[in-house]
Amino acid sequence: MAAKSNKPKSYCYDYPRPALTVDIVLLSGMNHQTDQVEVLLIKRAREPFKGQWAFPGGFVDEDESLEDAAARELAEETGLSGIQLEQIGAFGDPGRDPRGHTVSVVFAAVIGDRRLASAADDASEAAWHSALQPPSLAFDHEKILAVTLVRLRNERRI
């Protein structure tokens, strides 16, 4: 993790900038009982979308790399760490987050067997769900899941 700089900022911008978040799509390769790919979701403990399922994720801290933010958010909300995450893409349609214009950089990983996850931080639950028939998802996470599944299928990783 990069150290925070105490150097004063030399550039200021007159236009508003979107917020930056990361989301993590963690898939288990196959549930041996159901032959289905599963996705790890957290139940949001806070608004917006309190009580709804979503991917682990959150805001990127100042002077934090995207990769570090994704690993931190995954660990904070699910207790899982040491997972190699790959950047899938960015999602930034206006209106995707009711708090304001927010761009999310999405990371994904496919793990062999689902791991036990425990909810913490701003997640009230963490649980594995069918990736093909997930519960209703917060934000634009249904779109993100669909894009991620297509990409990973095309790469023959699921």
Largest CA distance in the chain: 58
φ and ψ at residue 47, rounded to 5 degrees = -70, 155
Instruction: Name residue 23's beta-bridge partners.
Output: 57, 106
Cβ atoms of residues 81 and 74 within 8 Å: yes
| Residue 106 CA: distances (Å) to CA of 3, 57, 125, 131 | 24, 9, 21, 16
- 92: burial class by Cβ within 10 Å (0-12, 13-18, 19+)? middle
User: Which residues are designated catalytic?
Assistant: 125
- 114: burial class by Cβ within 10 Å (0-12, 13-18, 19+)? middle
